[in-house]
Amino acid sequence: MSPAAATRQLLAGPRRLLHHLGRRGGYLLTLGSGWVGYGASITVNARYGTSRGIAILTRVAPIPFWGWLWIAAGLLAITAGLRRGALIDTIGYVCISIPPALWGAAYAVAWYTGAYQPVWGSAIAWLSEVGGFVIVSGWVELPRATIRAMRGKGPQHGG
């Protein structure tokens, strides 16, 4: 088997899954998985910079609570990504937006108040991530027939 054929075979499963999920569902599945991993890392061993940067949040609840929030948001986003429908997608995008919005806001407060100056870059990163979610959540998932027609493989193109 040639390397190209082996690569196509290796990618066939993920391609079928992405085809089934669509772009929005695939995005939710991917980000949800990342949130579960990030939440687990915070729960098990929060880094010093993270602890200092989110001090305003740790006054409300301990770090393991926030780690479990990331995990729960990730699992809900994964669940939403595996299902189809506008309402479930909306729930998924709200879920993946909450933890980074809280992180970005906490980091911005820590920077602004001088409590922990090095987090200004993290504040920008997390808040811009939320902006990206807003953009992706507005994507329209086109029906498969429309996509095939756009690629020249639809019925009107002899496909």
pTM: 0.80
Angle value at C-alpha 30, between 103 and 87, nearest 5 degrees: 85
pLDDT tier for residue 40 given thresholds of 50, 70 and 90: very high
Task: Check: CB of residue 153 under 8 Å from CB of residue 159.
Answer: yes
Q: How far apart are CA 97 and CA 83, in angstroms?
A: 18
Task: Check: CB of residue 59 under 8 Å from CB of residue 68.
Answer: no
Position 8 scores a pLDDT of: 75
pLDDT tier for residue 21 given thresholds of 50, 70 and 90: confident
Position 109 scores a pLDDT of: 96
pLDDT tier for residue 12 given thresholds of 50, 70 and 90: confident
Q: By percentage, how much of the chain surpasses pLDDT 90?
A: 57
Position 155 scores a pLDDT of: 57
What amino acid occupies position 10? L
Task: Check: CB of residue 81 under 8 Å from CB of residue 32.
Answer: yes
